[in-house]
Amino acid sequence: MGEALRAALALVASGDATLLGIVGLSLFVSLSAVTLATALGLPLGAVLAVTHFPGRRAIVVLLNALMGLPPVVVGLVVYLLLSRAGPLGSLGLLFTPGAMVIAQTVLILPIIAALCRQAVEDAWVEYQEQLRSLGVEGARAALTVLWDIRFSLLTALLAGLGRASAEVGAVMIVGGNIDGVTRVMTTAIALETSKGDLPLALGLGLVLIAVVLALNAAAFLVREAAQRRYG
Amino acid sequence: MGLIRAVFLLVALFSCIANAQQRYITVASTTSTEQSGLFKHLLPMFEKKTGIQVRVVALGTGQALDMGRRGDADVVFVHARPLEEKFIAEGYGVRRHEVMYNDFVLVGPKSDPAGVAGGKDVVQSLRKIFEKKAPFVSRGDRSGTHFAELELWKAAAIDIAHDKGSWYREIGQGMGPALNTAAGMDAYVLSDRGTWLSFKNRADLVIAVQGDRRLFNQYGIILVNPAKHPVVKKEMGQAFIDWMISREGQEAIAAYKIGGETLFFPNAGN
Amino acid sequence: MILPLRLEQVSFLHVLQPLSLQIEAGPSTIILGANGAGKSVLMRLMHGLLVPSSGNVSWSGTDARRRQAMVFQRPVMLRRSAFQNVLYALEVAGVAGAGRLATEALAEVGLGHVAHQPARVLSGGEQQRLALARAWALHPEVLFLDEPTASLDPTATRGIEAVIRAFDASGTKIVMATHNLGQARRLGDEVIYLHQGRVVERAPVEKFFAEPATPEASAFIKGELPWV
């Protein structure tokens, strides 16, 4: 373990261009996935929280269950879609960072939508009567509540980001772990482990954890500041 | 649903823009070749000369050939001749060129429970391992190495699929994990010399048997048939193949050493 | 004019037995009753937040939705400034000159000095006044109030009652649920007394307190003011 720590510090101190490239790509892929999943998932979760229609409860259960989608399965399905032999092969996305973003978006969309639904549903209890009294209903009411609880939704986003940056199954399959093109932190760790270079793998792992920790700390500070500002 | 389509197209557009500047080909090769470090040594030379980036997706031989069948790769570069010839016979490949060979080694624990260390006959050694039921790790992943291992069992007149016991551990993974597992279990394992030389987690493993002609491992390179998959980048793919079998490429392969030892022996055109 | 409001044989689950009554313009109406009598349910049926199990709730005139407002026991504010909360209500209603109206409403309830502070950091009394400002800005014909001072201290309560009196003076019809008899006498013109989901008595406020006509009403008054 001591060797791993030293390997990690040596890596970071060296400012190795390959390492920076890998970290940069990991952040790009996971943050893009979180952005896309948020754009799609927040409205979905909010509308699901405030509207009632036949089959709603089944959809809620399904969405909650999809939070546990195995990354390898998502990777496999997206691979089959993007393969030349598959329906979307002509887009030429396989083995590019784009494919990785798509796979991770699919993976974390249920997490963000389901957690958002829960948060909005809980807030809805508080806001519902007043908003309806003012004549605000349906989608407009959902979006008002959504915007009002935006800082607590940060937790949902962080959950999605955590899942995305930690997974290796999906990005390995659709990205191919190509040196310099689709190699991210998790696939690099998998590679170094299988090459038997365990200290290096552990070192990379520590760098990954440090990056995710920094993102979480930043989000926490943002929440605190917002709490003080808006009450 | 329209929104989802839009998202896909947006990502595709972005990807296109990102890729537009870079000319590249996709090569399906094997994990053992990549992990030996050969590509890190070779590919920059080719890119410098031609401006073509070579993107290697490293899988087992079986999966690499499947990638070629699906048209997800432009070139396949693997080491299992019968499987490669089948690939061409099925019409998925244009032509097979021999590129280089290396050898396999039988690696095992220092304690040598099957009593095969220092031997020169790998088939005889496998028989001893089978009789003593010494722990043995198999890649079990349709790779070139796995295929070679199965051929050796056949040569030893052992029906391994039928007669294996709990001493025979199939892990379904690449050479690195197989060596890791063997190191952890004090087991025998068939490995290519390249991966063994660059493997860092040896624990108590040493080379038990080497030098047998049956451990000879030939690599072949094949252009995926553009008639089957028109999207194959046939000019750039052919340029890569031509370079690999050219004098320049062959010399580059011979120049790659780990710890002073040559890993791969070029033999194109032999 | 959306008044009079007519309730015909309106009931709600087991909480309200079928009742009929008419709310006229003019005098401020107090809905009085013990906890669980059904005051909140009746208010919400009238305002349209609940659908009756049976019977009809009908307003006169058109656009009844827009011409009423309600203030709840606990004010619900958005995470924005006091000014923006009032603005929101006006924008939703599609009112022109929303900014000016919002500023005026805040001044009317004495919150002009905190207009740009986050609404949620204001005190309970201030937030309830803000809720009244939000309702005021809409210039409703009818203002429903569901126990508006139940969670407030006496000073804050006085502030709220002053605003309600101002509403009343400006011509808005007040319909207020409370179990605070003093407040009922201070602010009300007539009393509708609810007992276990039924309208048991309805009378002008002084007559109700001086000579309650029913034993239930008598008992209630005595219970709240044992020295009577």
The beta-carbon neighbor of C79 closest among A132, A140, A230 is: A230
For residues C42-59, average pLDDT? 95
Q: Which residues of B204-243 are buried (b: 16+ CB within 10 A; e: fewer)?
A: ebeebbbebeebebbbbbbbbbbebbeebbbebbbbbbeb
Mutation to test the A interface, candidates C79, C88, C126, C130, most A Cβ within 10 Å: C79
The reported pLDDT for the residue numbered C193 is 94
- State yes or no: pLDDT of B20 exceeds 70: no
User: What architecture is domain B2-102+218-266?
Assistant: 3-Layer(aba) Sandwich (3.40)
Distance from CA of A225 to the nearest CA of C (A): 13
ipTM score here? 0.90
Contact A230 C65 (CB under 8 A): no
- B49-94 confidence digits (pLDDT tens): 999 999 999 988 899 999 999 999 999 999 989 999 999 999 999 9
What the block records as the tokens of A107 is 């993976």
Rounded to 10 degrees, what is the CA torsion of B151, B156, B161, B164? Answer: -140
**DSSP secondary structure, chain B, as one string:** -HHHHHHHHHHHHHHHHHHHT--EEEEEEEHHHHHTTHHHHHHHHHHHHH-PEEEEEEE-HHHHHHHHHHT--SEEEES-HHHHHHHHHTTSEEEEEEEEEEEEEEEEETT-TTS-TTBS-HHHHHHHHHHHT--EEE--SS-HHHHHHHHHHHHTT--HHHH--TTEEE--S-HHHHHHHHHHHT-EEEEEHHHHHH----TTEEEEE---GGGEEEEEEEEE-TTT-TTS-HHHHHHHHHHHHSHHHHHHHHH-EETTEE--EE-TT-
- State yes or no: pLDDT of A14 exceeds 90: no
- State yes or no: pLDDT of C225 exceeds 80: no
Contacts of B218 (CB under 8 A, 6+ apart): B79, B81, B98, B101, B267
- C111-128 confidence digits (pLDDT tens): 999 999 999 999 999 999
Average pLDDT taken over every residue of chain A: 91
CB C47 within 8 A of CB C7: no
Mark whether B and A touch (3+ CB pairs within 8 Å). yes
The proportion of chain B whose per-residue pLDDT surpasses 70, expressed as a percent, equals: 94
Collapse the DSSP code of C151 into the 3-class scheme (helix H, G, I; strand E, B; otherwise coil) and give the result. coil
- State yes or no: pLDDT of C226 exceeds 60: no
The reported pLDDT for the residue numbered B221 is 97
Domains of chain A, each with CATH number or no CATH = 2-226 (1.10.3720.10)
Q: In chain A, which residues have their Cβ closer than 8 Å to the Cβ of C69? A: 133-134
Cα–Cα separations (whole angstroms), residue B9 to A44, B16, B20, B231? 20, 10, 16, 19
Range from A135-144, B235-244, C49-58 carrying the lowest mean pLDDT: A135-144
Q: In chain A, which residues have their Cβ closer than 8 Å to the Cβ of B176? A: 193-196
Global pTM reads: 0.81
Contact A231 C118 (CB under 8 A): yes
Give me the long-range contacts of C97-102 (CB less than 8 A, separation at least 24): C101/C137, C102/C137
The proportion of chain B whose per-residue pLDDT surpasses 90, expressed as a percent, equals: 63
Cα–Cα separations (whole angstroms), residue A20 to A14, A28, A185, C121? 10, 12, 10, 44
Contact C47 A133 (CB under 8 A): yes
The proportion of chain A whose per-residue pLDDT surpasses 90, expressed as a percent, equals: 65
Mutation to test the B interface, candidates A106, A195, A197, A202, most B Cβ within 10 Å: A195
Cα–Cα separations (whole angstroms), residue A144 to A148, B98, B213, C70, C151? 6, 67, 75, 19, 26
Distance from CA of B157 to the nearest CA of A (A): 32
Split at pLDDT 50, 70, 90, the class of B5 is low
Q: Which of C228, B65, B55 is nearest to A95 (CA)?
A: B55
Distance, in Å, from the CA atom of C160 to the CA atom of C100, rounded to the nearest integer, reads 23
Distance, in Å, from the CA atom of B162 to the CA atom of A113, rounded to the nearest integer, reads 50
- State yes or no: pLDDT of A75 exceeds 80: yes
Domains in chain B: boundaries: 2-102+218-266, 104-215
CB B224 within 8 A of CB B164: no
- C55-96 confidence digits (pLDDT tens): 999 999 888 888 999 999 999 999 999 999 999 999 999 999
The reported pLDDT for the residue numbered B3 is 63
Same fold, B2-102+218-266 and B104-215: yes
- Residue C226 gets which letter from DSSP? T
Contact C65 A132 (CB under 8 A): no
Range from A204-208, B36-40, B194-198, C129-133 carrying the lowest mean pLDDT: B194-198
Q: In chain A, which residues have their Cβ closer than 8 Å to the Cβ of C119? A: 231
Q: Which residues of A118-139 are buried (b: 16+ CB within 10 A; e: fewer)?
A: bbbbebbeebbbbbbbbbbeee
Q: Which of A175, A82, A92, A94 is nearest to B13 (CA)?
A: A92
Interface residues of A toward C, Cβ cutoff 8 Å, are: 126-127, 129-130, 132-136, 140, 144, 148, 229-231
Contact A132 C92 (CB under 8 A): no
CB C43 within 8 A of CB C146: yes
Output phi, psi for C189, to 5 deg. Answer: -105, -40
- State yes or no: pLDDT of A202 exceeds 90: no
Q: In chain B, which residues have their Cβ closer than 8 Å to the Cβ of A40? A: 3-4, 7
Contact C49 A130 (CB under 8 A): no
Q: In chain C, which residues have their Cβ closer than 8 Å to the Cβ of A223? A: none
The beta-carbon neighbor of B177 closest among A95, A99, A194 is: A194
The beta-carbon neighbor of B3 closest among A40, A93, A179 is: A40
- A96-128 confidence digits (pLDDT tens): 999 999 999 999 999 999 999 999 999 999 999
- State yes or no: pLDDT of B2 exceeds 60: no
Pairing relation of β-strands C173-178 and C29-33?
parallel
| Check whether domain B104-215 has CATH 3.40.190.10, yes or no | yes
The reported pLDDT for the residue numbered C221 is 87
Contact A89 B71 (CB under 8 A): yes
The beta-carbon neighbor of C76 closest among A127, A135, A229 is: A127
The reported pLDDT for the residue numbered B19 is 61
For residues B224-248, average pLDDT? 94
CB B252 within 8 A of CB B45: yes
Split at pLDDT 50, 70, 90, the class of B1 is low
Q: In chain C, which residues have their Cβ closer than 8 Å to the Cβ of A144? A: 78, 88
Residue of A nearest to B73 (CA): A84
The proportion of chain A whose per-residue pLDDT surpasses 70, expressed as a percent, equals: 100
Q: In chain B, which residues have their Cβ closer than 8 Å to the Cβ of A177? A: 57-58
Split at pLDDT 50, 70, 90, the class of A84 is confident
Domains of chain C, each with CATH number or no CATH = 26-51+62-67+141-228 (3.40.50.300), 78-139 (no CATH)
Residue B130: how many other CB atoms lie within 10 Å = 20
